[in-house]
């Protein structure tokens, strides 16, 4: 019986390669799962391009679906063979950050218990999910059993895409009857659109320029779609809302243009919910900010994780509220993951998300 596994490893900017590594062994609180399906995230492409630095030799990926293979000695409540997922963010549950509800900024092990993005460990500070096996830390807080009847592809969006996307609507404080605009309709933005729908917004405006994505946006719940290559999106949103603006806007790309348009599209007293990963300083224009007197809120959210979050998201899928698997447009074997990266990073062939199976 082999103790080696295949894994997609970051070597240097521009190079993620499939190579071999030892299968990890769980510590007392950990579990090791055998990956059955995983996927590639836009963040992984940032890593590939060297825009987000990780250690050379690290296995990439933070979206695991799998089967419990080995449990740490202290892990209770699970059995080998259980089908599970784990969130992209794996909070310890016991840091000061976790205990005050700020699980994604978990600083377990640090003096104060807070660490920016500290809850994001897979493919960032520990080996990730694009491999045959994955060590899940703090397994009791993070392993989430997959309900019977759900396929891997149905739950594949839960660890990150659905969790992040829905959090855009949640952190925005979306209420029944709200007007919500979502800027960019990649996988995260599409789930933000779905989240606005799920929370009772009644005028949902999706902005992008790719016709296929705008079509999916409609399927996910958008009432209106705006092609920003054809019209000024802020003007169009003001036209659609008869000059009122939005209660909530969601930024799902990570650029100044979308951030600024999201701010300009708000009504006084509205909330900009920011999901994008930025790569440069942002500017808040004085006028769009009403000189600080507009009762505006700008909130950012890092993908909520932990098994309770995963349980809820899988319940969203199981109940048929959102057809998450429709985002999976392409399928690859782990052996072909380099090709998958190539397709995904260049957004060829209408790709939204790829399913990778070892």
Rounded CA gap, 127 and 203, in Å?
A: 42
Q: What is the closest distance, in whole angstroms, from the C-beta atom of residue 354 to its own copies in the complex?
A: 23
Residue selected from 35, 68, 129, 296 as contacting its own copies according to rule CB under 8 A: 296
Residue selected from 42, 61, 66, 113 as contacting its own copies according to rule CB under 8 A: 113
Count interface residues toward its own copies (CB under 8 A): 96
Residue selected from 61, 66, 107, 137 as contacting its own copies according to rule CB under 8 A: 107
Do 162 and 168 touch, CB atoms closer than 8 A?
no
Binding of its own copies by 149 (CB under 8 A) = no
| Cα within 13 Å of Cα(356), Cβ side | 30
Binding of its own copies by 264 (CB under 8 A) = no
Q: What is the closest distance, in whole angstroms, from the C-beta atom of residue 195 to its own copies in the complex?
A: 7
Residue selected from 1, 14, 79, 112 as contacting its own copies according to rule CB under 8 A: 112
Residue selected from 1, 2, 3, 73 as contacting its own copies according to rule CB under 8 A: 73
Which run of H or of E encompasses 215? helix 211-220
Nearer Cβ to its own copies, position 288 or 340? 288
Residue selected from 62, 264, 267, 353 as contacting its own copies according to rule CB under 8 A: 267
Q: Mapping DSSP to helix (H, G, I), strand (E, B) and coil, where does residue 169 land?
A: helix
Binding of its own copies by 138 (CB under 8 A) = yes
Rounded CA gap, 309 and 167, in Å?
A: 11
- State CA 165 to chain mean position distance: 6
Q: Which of residues 200-239 bind its own copies (CB under 8 A)?
A: 200, 202-203, 223
Binding of its own copies by 120 (CB under 8 A) = yes
Residue 103 φ/ψ, nearest 5 degrees: -60, -35
Q: 81: exposed, middle or buried (C-beta count within 10 Å: 0-12, 13-18, 19+)?
A: exposed
User: Would you say the C-alpha torsion 163, 158, 192, 351 has a positive or negative sign?
Assistant: positive
């Amino acid at each position: 019986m082999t103790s080696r596994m295949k894994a997609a490893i970051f070597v240097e900017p521009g190079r993620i390669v499939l190579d071999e590594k030892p299968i990890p062994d769980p510590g007392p609180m950990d579990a090791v799962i055998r990956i059955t399906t995983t996927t590639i995230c836009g963040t992984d492409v940032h890593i590939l391009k060297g825009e987000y630095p990780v250690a050379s030799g690290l296995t990439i990926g933070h979206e695991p679906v799998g089967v419990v293979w080995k449990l740490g000695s202290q892990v209770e409540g699970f059995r080998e063979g259980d089908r599970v997922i784990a969130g992209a963010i794996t909070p310890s549950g016991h840091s000061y950050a976790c205990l005050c509800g700020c699980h994604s900024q978990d600083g377990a092990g640090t003096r104060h218990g807070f660490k920016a993005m500290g809850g994001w460990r897979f493919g960032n500070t520990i080996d990730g999910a694009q491999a045959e096996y994955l060590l899940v830390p703090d397994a009791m807080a993070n392993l989430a059993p997959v309900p019977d009847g759900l396929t891997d592809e149905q739950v594949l969006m839960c660890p990150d895409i659905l969790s992040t996307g829905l959090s855009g609507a949640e952190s925005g404080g979306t209420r029944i009857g709200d007007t919500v605009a979502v800027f960019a309709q990649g996988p995260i933005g599409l789930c933000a659109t779905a989240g606005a729908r799920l929370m009772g917004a009644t005028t949902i405006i999706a902005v992008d320029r790719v016709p296929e994505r705008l079509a999916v946006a409609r399927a996910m719940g958008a009432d209106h779609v705006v092609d920003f290559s054809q019209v000024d999106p802020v003007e169009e949103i003001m036209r659609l809302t008869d000059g009122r603006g939005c209660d909530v806007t969601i930024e799902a790309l990570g650029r100044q243009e979308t951030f600024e348009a999201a701010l300009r599209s708000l009504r006084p007293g509205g909330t900009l919910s920011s999901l994008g990963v930025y790569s440069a300083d942002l500017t808040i224009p004085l006028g769009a900010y009403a000189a600080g007197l507009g009762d505006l809120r700008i909130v950012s959210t890092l993908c909520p994780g932990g098994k309770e979050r995963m349980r809820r998201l899988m319940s969203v899928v199981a109940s048929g509220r959102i057809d998450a698997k429709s985002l999976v447009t392409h399928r690859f074997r782990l052996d072909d993951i380099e090709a998958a990266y190539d397709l995904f990073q260049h957004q060829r062939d209408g790709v939204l998300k790829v399913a990778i199976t070892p």
